[in-house]
Amino acid sequence: MNDFTLETFSLSYFLASFLLPPVLLLITTAIGTGMLWRRRAGAQALIVVSLLGLFALSLPIVAFSLFTPLEVEPLDLARAKDAQAIVILAGGRARGALEWGGDTVNAFTLARLRYGAYLARQTGLPVLLTGGLGNAEREPEAVLMQRALQRDFGITPRWIETASRTTAENARFSADMMRAAGVSRVLLVTHSFHVPRAQAQFERAGLKVIPAPTGFQGLRTFEWLQLVPTADAWRLSHIALREWLALARDRLIS
């Protein structure tokens, strides 16, 4: 990991997109189409399976169901009294937001900041923001988070961690800062589907974690509209499958 750079991170993120639907299923459809003149039966089967997969992943009920096994229960505020600090993980940036004059936090990060600010007001605990991937032209995500947290929610973070590039580095670098401050127990604010992977990394780094999930997407109740295909369901399915892939990778290399 010593030679890990923003460029290699972007490349790995790009390559992962080709291992996940809908791009993967579009590729297999194209391969099947190209095989039609040689192996008609196999090509037809590949095309049908690929198209059925694309259709299934466009159904909200499928997208929501992919999230359900990943998600944990909401935080019971009674448990928050055991924590010494709140850690809020970055979830990405909105690039070149015209109304904000440049980069700002994206919807994922904003949801985490909102819940983290609520918890800070409820508990009075200090806040650590973690998120990097900055460069000479681009501010780290934690700096964007700091600006939004102060401006939009009136909360000033005590610590800013700007060097991390992965969830594992979020955990390791945040744990170093927490130990230096005498903190060992934290509320970890991230999306519910991200909790299993993030919690494992933070506990591996030596912190006691109380999950504080937000942004629940899992299937809770059934509605008939969940059987209507939507483009947004494709987006959610892709996010869920990416998280499953990342979780499998982490478990293999841990």
Give the mean pLDDT per block of 10 residues along the chain (254 residues).
41 60 68 67 78 88 95 93 96 92 94 98 97 85 97 97 94 97 97 96 97 93 88 92 90 80
Token pair 């590949």 in the structure block, residue:
46
Question: What single-letter DSSP state applies at residue 19?
Answer: T
Q: Where are the beta strands (DSSP E) in 47-124?
A: 85-89, 93-97, 102-105
Question: What single-letter DSSP state applies at residue 75?
Answer: P
Can you give the pLDDT at residue 19? 62
132 and 162 in contact (C-beta within 8 Å)? yes
Can you give the pLDDT at residue 4? 37
> What residue segments make up the domains of the chain, in order of their start?
7-69+228-253, 73-214
Can you give the pLDDT at residue 49? 82
Can you give the pLDDT at residue 21? 62
CATH, range 73-214: 3.40.50.620
Cα separation, 103 vs 80, in Å, equals 32
213's tokens: 């999930």
Burial pattern 195-207, b for ≥16 Cβ within 10 A else e, equals bbbbbbbbeebeb
pTM of the model: 0.84
Amino acid identity of 35? Answer: M
Start-to-end C-alpha separation, the chain:
14
CA 182 vs CA 86, 105, 117, 124: distances in Å: 14, 29, 22, 17
Q: What angle do CA 99, 103, 108 make, to 5 degrees?
A: 95
Can you give the pLDDT at residue 220? 84
99's tokens: 């109304």
Cα separation, 141 vs 22, in Å, equals 28
Can you give the pLDDT at residue 12? 60
**Residue 154: is it exposed, middle or buried by C-beta count within 10 angstroms (0-12/13-18/19+)?**
exposed
Amino acid identity of 86? Answer: I
Cα separation, 155 vs 158, in Å, equals 10
